[in-house]
Amino acid sequence: MKDFTTFVCYRMKATMKKIEKHIAEFLAQYGVTMTQSFILFSLLENDGSTLTEIGLRAQIDNSSLTTMVDKLEKEGLVERRLSTQDRRVVTLYLTDKGRKLAQQVFQAGESYNDMIAESIHHIENEFYRGLEIISNTLDEEEELRIAK
């Protein structure tokens, strides 16, 4: 029987767990989680986005997104507004405090990302290509499962 710790998915999960732990410790100084930082970054790119748009961009499930946005709103970092075109649609905006924090965290995140990217610079293209292959394989599997 093959050792499950040699499975690709296990190794990816173990690595992500380490990354998430380090990022959580790193972001603690700013008072936000990794997921919350992705929401803030999405709004830096496109302030006034809907929750659906943010969820798609940041890869966050709607059930988690609402809870995260509630916390960010309570901290005074974001505010919800009704869309001017459709009052049923809620858009999210950074407050001045939120924009300042998002910019600080983004700059710090760039440095953190550069450190990780430097460790793989010699295989960076292959690394990203491998991730793309895995992602495409999973998409194809999903399409085949749905087609059945």
pLDDT single digits (tens) 81-124: 988 888 888 899 999 999 999 999 999 999 989 999 999 999 99
CA angle 126–128–134, rounded 5-degree value: 100
Q: What is the CATH number of the domain that holds 112?
A: 1.10.10.10
Residue 38 located in a structural domain: yes
- Please spell the DSSP secondary structure of 118-148, one letter per residue: HHTGGGHHHHHHHHHHHHHHHHHHHHHHHH-
38-61 b/e (C-beta count within 10 Å ≥ 16 → b): bbbbbbeeeeebebeebbebbebe
Residue 55, pLDDT > 80, answer yes
Residue 127 located in a structural domain: no
Residue 148, pLDDT > 80, answer no
Residue with tokens 């901290």: 75
Residue 51 pLDDT: 92
pLDDT single digits (tens) 136-145: 999 998 887 8
Residue 96 located in a structural domain: yes
Residue 142 located in a structural domain: no
Residue 134 located in a structural domain: no
Residue 33 pLDDT: 93
Residue 143 located in a structural domain: no
Residue 55 located in a structural domain: yes
Q: Is pTM, for the whole model, over 0.75?
A: yes
- CA distances to 72, 118, 122 from 148, rounded to whole Å, are 42, 43, 42
For the chain, the domain total comes to 1
Residue 48 located in a structural domain: yes
Q: How far apart are CA 107 and CA 112, in angstroms?
A: 9
Nearest C-alpha neighbor of 79 from the set 95, 55, 58, 56: 95
Domain that holds residue 63: 4-121
